[in-house]
C-alpha cells in the first residue's frame, strides 16, 4: 500500500511518472522507437535548453498503405529510419536560435492506418500526371493522425522520369519505401507545407547542403534544414 501511495504522489504528465529523486522517467517514451532509439530520452536528450510541456508539442506523420504495400518488418524499418532523420532535422531546427522555432517541439511520432482495401494501387506504377487523382484520393483516405504519407510498392514516374517519392502542397506525399532513402520523408514534407526555394522550379534550394536541394540521385540531397523549412514544418506540431 505504501508503494502505491508513493507512486500516486509522483509528478505525472498523465502519460507517465517522473521521479525527482533520480531525475528519470519511470516509464518508456510513449512514442517508442518512433521518437528515437533512446526510449528514456526527451527533448533530443537536451532538457537543459529545451522544454517538452506535457509532451503535447509533437510533429505527427500519418502513414497509410495502398493495396500494393505491406507493413512488413523491412517497410516499418525504412519508415522508422526516415522518422529518425526527421527527428534529427527537428532537433537541428530547435538548435538554430535565429529561426525562432519553439523549443517545445521535441519529438516526432508516426501513426499508422493499415487498411489497404480502400487505397487501390495502379497495376504497374503511378504515372504522373495521369495518376495524380488516384494518388491524391488514396492520400485523402489515410485515417492516421498527422501529415499523411501514402506508402506504396509501385514505381513513381513523372513525365517519364523515375521518382522515389512525390508530394502535393497542402495534401500529403507518396513514398516508395523500396526505392527511396531516409531523407525523403523530411524532404517531401517541405513540399507539403509549401516550401519556396530559389531554384528554377521555385520548390527547391540551389544550396547543395540544403535539405530541399534537388538531386537526380536522392543520395545527393542536402542534410541541413533552413529556417523556412523549420518554421513551416514545426508549425504542424501540436
pLDDT string in tens for the chain (238-residue length)? 444 444 444 444 445 555 666 666 666 655 555 555 565 565 555 555 555 555 557 899 999 999 999 999 999 999 999 999 999 998 888 888 777 776 666 678 999 999 999 999 999 999 999 999 999 999 999 999 999 999 999 999 988 888 889 999 999 999 999 888 899 999 999 999 999 999 998 999 999 999 999 876 655 567 899 999 999 998 998 8
d(CA 14, CA 208): 44
Residue in 110, 156, 114, 162 with CA at minimum distance from that of residue 135:
156
pTM (predicted TM-score): 0.76
- Angle, CA of 65, 66 and 68, to the nearest 5°: 110
Reduced to 3 states (helix: H, G, I; strand: E, B; else coil), residue 85 is helix
| CA distance readout (Å), 120 to 95, 103, 211 | 41, 40, 31
What domains, with CATH codes, occur in the chain?
Answer: 56-234 (3.40.390.10)
Range 158-167, long-range pairs (CB < 8 A, 24+ positions)? 158/128, 158/129, 159/128, 159/129, 163/128, 164/218, 166/126, 166/128, 166/135, 167/191, 167/192
Identify the sign of the CA torsion 226, 164, 191, 92.
Answer: negative
Cell numbers found for residue 59: 510533429
Distance CA(216)–CA(161), nearest Å, equals 10
Amino acid at each position: 500500500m505504501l508503494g502505491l501511495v508513493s507512486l500516486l504522489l509522483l509528478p505525472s504528465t498523465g502519460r507517465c511518472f517522473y521521479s525527482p529523486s533520480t531525475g528519470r522517467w519511470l516509464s518508456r517514451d510513449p512514442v517508442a522507437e518512433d521518437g528515437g532509439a533512446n526510449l528514456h530520452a526527451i527533448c533530443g536528450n537536451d532538457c537543459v535548453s529545451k522544454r517538452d510541456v506535457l509532451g503535447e508539442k509533437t510533429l505527427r506523420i500519418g502513414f497509410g498503405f495502398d493495396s500494393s504495400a505491406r507493413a512488413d518488418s523491412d517497410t516499418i524499418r525504412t519508415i522508422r529510419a526516415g522518422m529518425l532523420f526527421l527527428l534529427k532535422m527537428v532537433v537541428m531546427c530547435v538548435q538554430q536560435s535565429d529561426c525562432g522555432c519553439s523549443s517545445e517541439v521535441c519529438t516526432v511520432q508516426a501513426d499508422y492506418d493499415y487498411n489497404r482495401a480502400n487505397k487501390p494501387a495502379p497495376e504497374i506504377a503511378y504515372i504522373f500526371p495521369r495518376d495524380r487523382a488516384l494518388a491524391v484520393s488514396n492520400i485523402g483516405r489515410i485515417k492516421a493522425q498527422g501529415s499523411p504519407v501514402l506508402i506504396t510498392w509501385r514505381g513513381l514516374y513523372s513525365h517519364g522520369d523515375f521518382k522515389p517519392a512525390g508530394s502535393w502542397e497542402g495534401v500529403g506525399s507518396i513514398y516508395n519505401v523500396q526505392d527511396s532513402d531516409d531523407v525523403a520523408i523530411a524532404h517531401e514534407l517541405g513540399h507539403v507545407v509549401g516550401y519556396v526555394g530559389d531554384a528554377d522550379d521555385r520548390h527547391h534550394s540551389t544550396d547543395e547542403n540544403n535539405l530541399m536541394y534537388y538531386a537526380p540521385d536522392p543520395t545527393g540531397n542536402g542534410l541541413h534544414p533552413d529556417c523556412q523549412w523549420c518554421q513551416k514544418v514545426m508549425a504542424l506540431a501540436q
